Amino acid sequence: MGKYALHRLLMALPVLLGTTFLIYLAVYALPGDPIQALAGPNRALSPSVEQALRERFHLDDPLLVQYGSYLKGLLSGDLGMSFAGRPVSEVIAASWPVTFQLGVTAWLFMTVLGVLLGTVAGLRRGRLADALVLGGTTVVMGVPFFVVAYVAQIVLGVNLGWLPVSGTDAGWPLAYVMPGLVLALYGLPQVARLTRTSVLDNLNADHVDTATAKGLRPRAVVVRHVLRNSLIPVVSLLGVSLGYLLSGTVLIEGIFNLPGLGYQIFTAIPQHDGPVVVGVGTLLVLVFLLVNLLVDLLYGILDPRIRLG
């Protein structure tokens, strides 16, 4: 397994490199003038300052030269400077805890609620609980997330006053409950549905019949035989859905005013702030790759039939 992990890590290198290049290319190709973006609509920078800024951020160099010097900096551990004049590493250091807490909260909600609802629905197939879970998750898929977010803010935050509306002042977990829940809705339907079908399949499987025939109590059968096996495909989905969660932080952090990585990247794009977009974007990809490697390793442990390598 160690060899497999090493192999996967090595494979991640070209993926990362490709990612940085693609993002760099995209930011470079953005139409519009970064200098104008920096100045805003009501300020016209003087030509001399414009020139100085272009030189400082190498905006006039060709793409490959820019990218080359970025890579060179990267090798020596320098992620570059943002347009606001702060080192990108500092930006990342300040923002990742927010995204981490948000991601973990959302992921917990998604996993716990998803598995719980899916299991209940699977065990009660065809009954009211099943219909409610299926119907509910379908509706969730259809309602635009920003509608959910605003309604949650106004109802839970403003009208009922149960949870903070925005910001990180209240700290974890309080400040992250509402954004975490909204973010979790992204992946919740898939997790619940997959758990449900998986539970159904396993309920009909031979080894469950055997266990029941042996006289094991139903609860024990469910826990020991059905659930354990049902969770295998779910684990894999949980890894992939991390991608959705990270993507969702871009929206959620904006709406809830959380200064995380998504917030930084979303502010940086209209500013053409290449170093920030590339640095933060690459970090998100790296996290995704690592988590999925872990998930695959875990998968191998859960399901001995799968051999890695």
Partner 1 sequence: MSVKKVLGAAALAVALTACSSGGSGGAGTPQGEKSFSVGVTTYFLSHLTPGRSVASNVDYALFTPLTTVDATSGKAVNAVAESIETDDNVTWTVKIKPGWTFHNGEQVTAQSFADSWNATAYAPNAFENNFMFAPFKGYAELNPADGKPSEKTLSGVEVVDPATLKITLTKPLSLLPYVLAQTAFAPMPKAAFADLPGFDRKPIGNGPYQLDGEGLAAGVTKVALRKFGGYQGQAGDADRIEVKSYQDEAASYRDLQAGALDVSLVTGNNLTDAAARFKDRLVRVPFPAVIYLGFPLWDKRFSDVKVRQAFAHAIDRETIVKSLLRGFGQPATGLAGASVPGGGAADCAACSYDPAKAKALLAEAGGWSGPLKLWTYQDPVNTVVLEAVGNQLRANLGIETVTTQTQPVDQLYPNLAAKKIDGPVLLYMGAGYPHLYALADQLFTKTSASNVTGYDSPEFAKLMADAAKAGQEEAMGLTQRAAKLAMDGLPLTPLFQPVGGLAYSTRVSGVKPEFLGAAVLSAVKVG
Partner 2 sequence: MASSTLASASAEAPPAARPGLLAKLRRRPAFAISSAIALVVCAMAAVPQAFAGWFGGGDPRKCDLVNSGLPPAPGHPFGFDIQGCDLYSNVVYGARSSVLIALLVTAGMIVVAVVLGSLAGYFRGWVDAVISRVMDVFFGFPALVGMIVLLQAASTHNEWTVSAVLILFGWPVLARVMRGSVLETATGEYVAAARGVGAGTARILLRHVLPNALGPVAVLTGLNVGGVIASESALTFLGVGLQTPAISWGVQLNTAQQYFVTSPHLLIFPSIFLTVTVLSFVLLGDSLRDAFDPRLRQEVARP
Which strand (E) or helix (H) includes residue 146?
helix 145-152
- The footprint of partner 2 on residues 11-40 (CB under 8 A) is 11-12, 14-15, 18-19, 22-23, 26-27, 29-32
Is residue 84 a contact residue for partner 1 (CB under 8 A)?
yes
- C-alpha span between 205 and 212 (Å, rounded): 11
The nearest distance, CB 150 to partner 2, in angstroms, is: 6
Q: Which is nearer to partner 1, 166 or 212 (CB)?
A: 166
- C-alpha span between 308 and 293 (Å, rounded): 11
Stretch that binds partner 1, among 7-15, 123-131, 201-209, 263-271 (CB under 8 A): 263-271
Answer whether 252's CB lies under 8 Å from 1's CB: no
List the one residue from 1, 224, 270, 294 that touches partner 1 (CB under 8 A).
Answer: 270
The nearest distance, CB 161 to partner 1, in angstroms, is: 7
The one of partner 1, partner 2, none whose footprint includes residue 247, by CB under 5 to 8 A per kind, is: partner 2
Report the chain's terminal Cα–Cα distance, integer Å: 7
Answer whether 291's CB lies under 8 Å from 239's CB: yes
Write the DSSP symbol of residue 83: T
3-state secondary structure (DSSP) of residue 43: coil
Long-range CB contact pairs, 29-34, < 8 A, 24+: 30/269, 30/272, 32/272, 34/59, 34/83, 34/271, 34/272, 34/273
Answer whether 293's CB lies under 8 Å from 281's CB: no
Q: Which is nearer to partner 2, 171 or 197 (CB)?
A: 197
- C-alpha span between 297 and 64 (Å, rounded): 37
The one of partner 2, partner 1, none whose footprint includes residue 230, by CB under 5 to 8 A per kind, is: none
The one of partner 2, partner 1, none whose footprint includes residue 271, by CB under 5 to 8 A per kind, is: partner 1
Is residue 144 a contact residue for partner 1 (CB under 8 A)?
no
Is residue 99 a contact residue for partner 1 (CB under 8 A)?
no
- The footprint of partner 2 on residues 264-303 (CB under 8 A) is 265-266, 269-270, 277, 281, 284-285, 288-289, 292
Stretch that binds partner 2, among 71-79, 146-154, 166-174, 217-225 (CB under 8 A): 146-154
Output the six-digit token pair for 238: 């949980």
- C-alpha span between 187 and 106 (Å, rounded): 9
List the one residue from 15, 33, 60, 173 that touches partner 1 (CB under 8 A).
Answer: 33
- C-alpha span between 47 and 24 (Å, rounded): 26
Q: Evaluate the omega torsion of the peptide bond into residue 173 and state whether it is cis, within 30 degrees of 0.
A: yes
Binding mask 201-220 for partner 2 (x = CB under 8 A): x-------------------
Write the DSSP symbol of residue 303: -
Is residue 119 a contact residue for partner 2 (CB under 8 A)?
no
List of residues contacting partner 1 (CB under 8 A): 31-34, 36-49, 51-53, 56, 82, 84-87, 90-91, 93-95, 98, 153-154, 157-158, 161, 164-169, 254-257, 259, 263-264, 266-267, 269-272
